[in-house]
Structure 1
Amino acid sequence: MVESYTVVVPCFNEAENIIPLFDRIRAQLTDASILFVDDGSSDKSLELIKELAEKDKRVFYLSFTRNFGLDAAFASGFKYCASDWIIQMDADLQSPPEEIPKLISKANEGYDIVFAKRLNRQDSFLKKAGSKVQHFLARTAFRINFPVGASTFRIVRRDVAHRVISRPTAYPYFLAECMRLGLRHSFIDYKHAPRHAGVSKFTFWKSLRATMKLFIGHSTVPLNFFALSLIISIPLLFWIPGSFTVPAILLLMLTGFWIQAGYIRRLVREQMFHRAFLVRESNLNIQAEDRLYDN
C-alpha cells in the first residue's frame, strides 16, 4: 500500500518564505499535500498561499480569525489532514525540506513519530538557553518524560496525531503528550539552517507561557511546591522575626499562590470559554464548530 503524506506549515507573517518553501517541498515530495495554516497574518502570506492553491490542487489552507499560536495551528492541521502521515515544519526554512526523506525513511522502520534534532542550532543565545533550561527542568525537577532535543520538525502518523489532540485539553503540550501515550518514537539528526528571510516570532513571554503550559499541564510538582510553601512559610512568620526574613517568606508564599492560580486559570480557560482556533476561510470542508461563518 502506498503511503500518503501531508506537510503542515503554520505561517504568521512569513510572506517572504512561502514561495521558496513551497518550491523546496515540491522538489522533495511531488505528490504530497501541503496544508498551510495562516495564523492571523497581517502581511501577504494568505494571498500567496491562495495563489499557490489555485495553481496546485494539492495545496490547502486554513486562515484563522486571529493569531491563536503555534500549538493551535498544528492542532488544526492534525484535525483536517487526511493523509497517512503528517510532516510538521515551520515556514522559516530553518528546517530544510531536503531533510524530509530522512524523516520518512526512519518512520518506515516502524515508528509512530520521528523527531528531528538540530545540529549546530542557528538561533539566538536566549532561545537556545531557554530550550535547554526548559528541557532540563522538565525531566529533573518536574519529572516529565520529555524527548530532549526534539524540534517542531517531525513526522507523525495521522491517527496518532488525532489521538494526541483528542485529549480533553485545550492545548495539550505535544511532546509531553506523545511520551505520556507511549508512542514508538525515534530521532534523526539534521543540520539546522539560519532563517531564510523575515524575523523570528520568538519572544521571551511566549517562551515563558509555553514553559508554564508544559509544567502545569503535565506535572503536579508545582502544586506540591504550593503546599510546601504554605507549610513552611506560615510557621516561620511567627517563629523567625527579622526585617529580611519576613519579605522573603512572603515572597515564597506569593510564589506558591501564583502557581496555584496557574492551575485554576488553566481549568477555567478549558471549561468555560477557551477555543483552540477559529477559521475565517479555507478551501477545506471545515466543521461548523471551527468556522466563523455558517456558510
Structure 2
Amino acid sequence: MPRPGITAMIPCYNEIDCVERAYREIRAELVKYEDVELLFVDDGSTDGTLEAIKGFAAEDPLVKYISFARNFGLEAAFSAGFKYASKMWTVQFDADLQSPPHEVHRLVEKALEGYDVVFAVRENRQDPWHRRLGTWAHQTIARRWLGIELPQGASVFRIVRTSVAHKVVDSRLSTPYFIATAPLLGARYTTLPTAHHPRLDGTGKWNLRKLFSHAIELFVGFSFRPLTWLIGLAGAVLAAGAATMALTLAGRLGPVAVELAGLAAALVTLALLLVVARYLVRVMRVQAIGVPRYQIREANIPIRADEALYGYETPHVVGQFREPEVWEDAS
C-alpha cells in the first residue's frame, strides 16, 4: 500500500523548554513517510518559542510555521493548523510529547482501515489527578446526560483526514470542539489506546478554571437539554412560589419560612439567568462573523489575506490557500 502524505501539526504556546525535543523526535518518526511536513502553530508565544521554530525552518525545508498576533487559545491554534495543512492526513501532536511520537504509526495504520479520524486514548495517563478527573467527568456528563456524541477518553493526539478537518473548521460553530464536531458531521471515527508519558520539560497550561470553562463550552455548544431542564425547573419554582403564598395567607407559614423560601427562589432564578446568559453568549458568537477566530502575524507558507494581521502587506499572503493533495488509495 502506498504511504500517505502527512502533516504533523504542533500547536505551541510558550514551549521553549519542549519545542526543540518535539521537533527532533517528531521529525525522526515522520521522515519514515515519503511526503511529510511539520507545521508549527505558534499561539502568540512570548518566551522565544517562535524564534526557535524559525531556526528549525531556516535549516529544514520540512518545517512550516504560522504565528498568531496574540494568544488566541488551543482551539484557534488547531483550527488554523488544520486549515493550512497541505497533506491528505494531519496528525495533531502536543509539544510536550506526553503522547510519544512513535505511536503515530499505529494511528496511521488504523486510519487506513477506513476511518476519517482516529483519536488516541491515553493508557495509564500521566497527568495530575484533577485533569484526569475533569476529563472523565465532563465527557461522561456530555455523553450520558446531554446526549452529545463523542468518544470517551479521546485526546488531542489524533490523525484526521485533512478534508474532513477542513469541514470542521469551516462549520464556524460557536465552539470549535473538534471531538464533538467530527461525529456531528458524520465522520467515520474510532479510538486507539496509546502510551502516555509524564511531562519532562516546561509547565502545563491547563488549570481548574480552564477545565471548567472547556466543559461549559462543550455543554452549551452541542446540547439544548439544559434549557429543557430549566423550563421544568422554572415550572417547579413557580408552583412552589404559589404554594408558599397560599400557605402564608392561610397563616400556616411563619416569616422565617417565607424568607427562606424567597431566598431559595432567588438563588434558583439566578441560576436560571446564568444558564440562559451562557446560551445568549453562544448565539452572539455565531452571529459575530466579523470577529476573527485568530489573526496571523507571520508565516513561511501561503496564508489568506483576511487572516493576516497586516493583510496583503504580510509576506506569503495569497488570495487562496493550498488544498491538500489527493491520495487515491487512502481508504
Structure 2 length-normalised TM = 0.86
Partner-residue secondary structure (3-state), 2:148: coil
Q: Does 1:263 align with 2:267?
A: no
User: How many Å separate the matches in 2 of 1:136 and 1:13?
Assistant: 31
Spell out the pairing of 1:1-295 with structure 2 (5 A cutoff): 2-30=3-31, 31-240=35-244, 242=257, 243-272=259-288, 274-294=291-311, 295=313
Matched residue count: 295
Percent of paired sites with the same residue: 40
User: How many Å separate the matches in 2 of 1:50 and 1:171?
Assistant: 31
Show structure 2 runs of 5+ residues with no match: 245-252, 314-331
User: How many Å separate the matches in 2 of 1:238 and 1:131?
Assistant: 41
Check whether the contact 1:72–1:171 (CA below 8 A) recurs between aligned residues.
no
Structure 1 length-normalised TM = 0.96
Q: Please, what is the CA RMSD of the aligned residues?
A: 1.4
CA deviations over 1:12-38 (Å, ceiling 9, x no partner): 100111111111111111152011111
Cα distance, 1:57 vs structure 2: 1.0
**Stretch moving more, 23-32 or 212-221:** 23-32
Which aligned segments of 4 or more residues in structure 1 are displaced greater than 6 angstroms?
Answer: none
Partner-residue secondary structure (3-state), 2:155: strand
User: How many Å separate the matches in 2 of 1:170 and 1:149?
Assistant: 23
Show structure 1 runs of 5+ residues with no match: none
User: How many Å separate the matches in 2 of 1:120 and 1:15?
Assistant: 27
User: How many Å separate the matches in 1 of 2:3 and 2:123?
Assistant: 31
User: How many Å separate the matches in 2 of 1:250 and 1:262?
Assistant: 18
**Stretch moving more, 242-251 or 80-89:** 242-251
Cα distance, 1:224 vs structure 2: 1.0
Cα distance, 1:2 vs structure 2: 4.5
CA deviations over 1:247-294 (Å, ceiling 9, x no partner): 222222211111110111111123235321111111111111111002
Cα distance, 1:192 vs structure 2: 0.7
